[in-house]
Chains A and B, each alone.
Chain A
Amino acid sequence: MKFIYNILIVISFNTIVFASNEEKEARLDALMGLEIEQLGEVEVKLDDVFDIFDGLVKPQNVKVASGIQQSTATAPASTTVITSQDIEATGARNLEEILEAVPGMHVSLSEYRFAPLYDVRGMHSSTNNEILMMVNGVPIKSIIAGSRGGAWSPPPVQSISRIEIIRGPGSALYGADAVSGVVNIITKIADDINGTEIGFRTGSFQTYNPWLLHGGEHKGFKTMLSLNYLDTDGHKETVYQDMQSLLDKASGTNVSKAPGRTYLQQQRLSIQANVSKENWQSNLYWIRGRNIGAGLSTTFVINPEENHEQDFIQADIAYNNSQIIKDWGINARLSYQGADDKSLNSYSARPGAIRNGELLPYGAPNNVGYYQRQTRLDLSSLYRGFDKHIIRLGIGASYAELYKTTWSYLLNKQSPVMVDVRALGMVSIPENARQNRYLFAQDTWHIDSNWELTTGIRHDWYSDFEGTTNPRAALVWQVMPSLTAKLLYGKAFRAPSFVEMYLPASNVVAAGNPHLKAEVSSTWEIGVDYRLNSDLNLALNVFDYTVTDKIQRTLTKLNNFSIYTYNNIGTLKGSGFELETRWKINNKSSLLFNYAYAKVKTENSNEAGNYPHHQAYVRHDLLLGNNWFFDTKINWVSNRDRPLGDDRPLLKDYVELDLTLRYKNMSKFNPWDIAIGVRNLLNEDRREPGDARLIGDYPKAGREIFGEIRYKF
């Protein structure tokens, strides 16, 4: 009893000591009382090393807004930075979990694999091609659908150094598809790792994820290597209806697998390497996916037999010199990307279905394959010779090619013989190529110590659709050292994808339109960043955008069957705001809170639907004792309307509650780092808007647990 009493006193005493400012003075006095050699023996306090509490609130630098390092407060865009410390503290296991923290971003789901859609400021589409994803500055883009493509998967979380995000337009700098936002994932280099880490993560749904991470110098080359293997069954939440259910209803059969689970298993191996020496650096990212389940597939049908084989490679070599000659800096990069995706047993009708009056004893299976490769050259230069201006100029070109599109199916539905129909002149999508060239210029004008004006313009030429010019301007006013205000304007565009332009009507699912133009947007934003004190930061961004010539999939009757076609017919008008608070409560805890509101209407002032009007994100970090970090995350998604013509009941609001407990002994440099966590603790049935023809929408995972262990040497 007495023992407990004493412990309690010590604990409360320590708490008081830590919290008081007098203690700081006492510590400084004590430090000044030491000899200089003794200073080298004082240990840096734990939270300073792990830095999550200070790290959350201290000013962050960002490069994505202009290509120049600037603080997020003064950068000429609405930006968010997520560091490897944020990733580690929150125990995020994938990119979806990481990006959910971005104000105004909501992660929704697509049909294929229920792959994430990163919807920003209420902009939702099933391909998610209005956001530009980059890895180390290289765009990740499938020319087929304009999405990121099935073969690519994000770099594993442990190899990510930081992620820089623009909420809003970025085409004046990055070209196509930077309409709703830009995400640049920057991976770790040798110095970020400095040693070797082996780790293993396991959890619900038979998930096994071992990895190895290494950073060091070999023969004068700084070398980073990451190996990652993921094997999971994926969640098995219920899907209530698929296209086969509709066919069943029309023809009186009962062969659909819905309601039932979908198939989201995957086995993926990835290798990532970075080698650098002086001004040169080279990246390689290779992914091989096997036995990949398809979710609702591209046919909107649950197929237990369907699986994909996917391979992806990205390689680049870059030369960066911040002072190649006096006042001139240069960046040059040559990059290559290759992806192939083969889907096997993708049924558009299940065995036993009756379609157009014909019984299909073996169903209507398809084996489809795509190969694509892209080569791009990007050059940019920075001139600092003027007193008050920094000029950035860029030029580049890319060549993207879709080749070897394979397709086989049962030509005679009464006999189970898969026929390669290319020989018959039939294609799932025709082989094709696209060339793009661009030029951009940007001026950062430091008007005086309080005002800065950034202007930029970029023109893109394309070989298969009309080129576009996208200007932007940003006026940033440092009202006080602690208060920044900015006014932003930018135009952006998204390129029509090959599916939207060239999909043949014989495909049954949809038909392309070769006369499409780019979809364009213009956005106004006002941003305020207020640093109340060194421990509390507030930011508010208000936006208003218009998207015109929006490419929309509309249902058209074709031969008694509903089919999608694509046209530049839509208009979207969106407005709203994002509010963000970052607060270091004390040396042992911090709080991040953001709330976003969005309202998006179509041309006739109808609700665009399928996005949350309100969303909020709370993250609380707490240091327990000296070595235990406890992180709580709450993600609230609310008020999602249906678009016009979609009369299904409204989607339910949901709250996702995630907890992570991490043991990390910094003081003794213990090599072990262990975490356990639970995701969706409340086991909420989280649904994301699905195809309007099907009831039930698409499910996210229920409650999940995981454990993680890392050893560093």
Chain B
Amino acid sequence: MRISFFYLILLFLIPQISLAISEAEEYEIKAAYLFNLGNFIKWPATSQDSFEICVLGQDVFKENLDLIAKKEKKLQNKLVVIKKLSSLDDVNQCSILFINFTEQSQFQAAFDKLKGKPILTVGDTEKFIIMGGMIQFYLQAGKIRLMIDPQTLDENNLKASSKLLQISQRVER
């Protein structure tokens, strides 16, 4: 009886442990990445006292970022603020900006405007980096990986840590 009870507990635990780590929704994983990136990029010093993670365009993250922000309150020693933006005019305070447009021409306009600003641009649209973005999520064998263009980061006074460069695929425009 005792053995069977133990066995049952084990059965309860196994799926939970393995599931939570081995499998998650696409935008849960991407949200976790977005937060993590805050630890692997060096931004120029500012007087701003919050660390803004912004989403511009269609909001694909839904509540994921907010749920993480509830627990992970700080990045770079600053209070994390999640912002869902509808216009390019509001991006100036963002440290990380996830861009999700439907049209290529909108991306062009955005990258033109962001040129020279220390804002880490992240996206998962095809050609995101080619169009001028910095970090692009891509799907490989059912897993989400990163592409990075260090030169674009450099042009915007951002620096990626060696660890980030190591785990990402480098792309040049």
Interface set of A (CB-CB < 8 Å, partner B): 2, 6, 9-10, 13-14, 17, 24-32, 34, 36-37, 39-45, 48-49, 59, 61, 69, 191, 322-323, 329, 384, 449, 534, 666-667, 669
A26 contacts which of B4, B7, B12, B20 (Cβ < 8 Å)? B20
| Interface residues in B9-24 (C-beta closer than 8 Å to A) | 11-12, 15-16, 19-24
Interfacial chain A residues near B143, Cβ < 8 Å? 40-44
When distances are taken between beta carbons in the complex, the residues of chain A under 8 Å from B142 are 43-44, 49, 666-667, 669
B159 on interface, CB distance cutoff 8 Å: no
* Alpha-carbon separation in the docked complex, A49 to B33 (Å): 18
- Some 19 contacts from A to B, beta carbons below 8 A apart, are A13-B12, A17-B19, A24-B64, A24-B67, A27-B20, A28-B31, A29-B71, A30-B21, A30-B24, A32-B71, A32-B72, A36-B167, A40-B146, A42-B144, A48-B25, A48-B26, A49-B139, A323-B105, A666-B142
| Residues from 66 to 113 in B contacting A, C-beta threshold 8 Å | 67-68, 71-72, 86, 102-105, 108
Do B15 and A31 touch (CB < 8 A)?
no
Which B-chain residue is minimally distant from A29 (CB atoms)? Answer: B71
Interface residues contributed by chain B, number (CB under 8 Å): 49
Q: Does B32 sit within 8 A of A, measured CB to CB?
A: yes
Known contacts A26-B20, A27-B20, A534-B62; is-contact A10 B105 (Cβ 8 Å): no
- Would you call B45 an interface residue if the criterion is a C-beta within 8 Å of the partner chain's C-beta atoms? no
Between A and B, how many residue pairs show CB distances below 8 Å? 122
> In the complex the two chains form, is A42's CB within 8 Å of B8's CB?
no
Instruction: Given contacts A28-B67, A36-B163, list 12 more A-B pairs with CB under 8 A.
Output: A31-B31, A34-B21, A40-B144, A42-B23, A44-B24, A44-B139, A44-B143, A45-B24, A49-B142, A534-B62, A667-B23, A667-B142
Residue of A nearest to B24 (CB): A27
Contact A39:B32 (CB < 8 A) given known A6-B8, A32-B68, A329-B105:
yes
Partner of A42, one of B21, B37, B64, B103: B21
Are the C-beta atoms of A69 and B24 separated by less than 8 Å?
Answer: no
Least distance between A12 CB and chain B CB atoms (Å): 11
Shortest CB-to-CB span from A330 to chain B, Å, is 12
Q: Is the CB of B108 within 8 A of A323?
A: yes
Is A191 a contact of B126 with CB atoms below 8 Å? yes
Contact of B29 among A31, A37, A323 (CB under 8 A): A31
A28 with B28, Cβ < 8 A, contacts A9-B8, A36-B164, A44-B139 known: yes
The docked-state distance in angstroms from the alpha carbon of A27 to that of B29 is 9
With contacts A44-B25, A59-B58 taken as known, whether A10 is within 8 angstroms of B15 at the C-beta atoms is yes
Collect the chain A residues with CB atoms within 8 Å of residue B139's CB. Answer: 44, 49
What distance in Å separates the Cβ of B40 from its nearest Cβ neighbour in chain A?
7
Question: For residue A70, which residue of chain B has the nearest CB?
Answer: B102
Q: Provide the bound-state CA to CA distance between A17 and B32, in Å.
A: 20
Given known pairs A6-B11, A36-B33, A40-B146, the reply for A69 and B25 (CB within 8 Å) is no
B24 & A31 in contact (Cβ 8 Å cutoff): yes
Smallest CB gap from B58: residue in A: A59
Docked complex Cα distance between A452 and B25 (Å): 35
| The 7 residue pairs across chains A and B that have the minimum distance between CB atoms | A31-B32, A30-B20, A322-B105, A48-B26, A36-B36, A37-B167, A44-B26
Q: Which of A39, A45, A61, A322 contacts B23 (CB 8 A)?
A: A45
Residues of A within 8 A of B43 (CB): none
User: Measured between C-beta atoms, what is the minimum distance from B115 to chain A in Å?
Assistant: 16
